[in-house]
Structure 1
Amino acid sequence: MALKSSRYRKVGPASLSQRTEPRHTVVISSASLKRKGNKPIAATLLDISIYGCRFEADAIFKEGEKVVVTMDEHEPVNATMVWQKTRQAGCRFADALDTEVLRALTLSA
Structure 2
Amino acid sequence: MALKSTRYRKVEPAALNRRATPRHTMAISSASLKRNGNKSIPATLLDISIYGCRFEVDAVFKEGEKVTVTVDEHAPVIATMVWQKTKQVGCRFVDALDTAVLRSLTISG
TM-score by length of 2: 0.86
Q: Distance in 2 between matches of 1:26 and 1:100?
A: 17
Indicate the percent of aligned positions where both proteins have the same amino acid. Answer: 76
3-state DSSP class of the match of 1:89?
strand
Q: Partner of 2:51 in structure 1? A: 51
Q: 1:103 to 1:56 in 2, by over 3 A?
A: same
Q: Partner of 1:71 in structure 2? A: 71
3-state DSSP class of the match of 1:50?
coil
- Cα displacement string for residues 68-100 of structure 1 (whole angstroms, at most 9, x for unaligned residues): 000110000000000000000100000000000
3-state DSSP class of the match of 1:61?
coil
Higher mean C-alpha deviation, range 15-24 or range 48-57: 15-24
Q: Partner of 1:16 in structure 2? A: 16
Runs of 4+ off more than 4 Å: none
Q: Distance in 1 between matches of 2:81 and 2:68?
A: 10
Instruction: Map residues 1-109 of structure 1 onto 2, 5 A cutoff.
Output: 16-109=16-109
User: Which runs of no fewer than 5 residues in structure 2 stay unpaired?
Assistant: 1-12
How many pairs are equivalent?
98
Give the superposed CA RMSD. Answer: 1.4
TM-score by length of 1: 0.86
User: Which runs of no fewer than 5 residues in structure 1 stay unpaired?
Assistant: 1-12
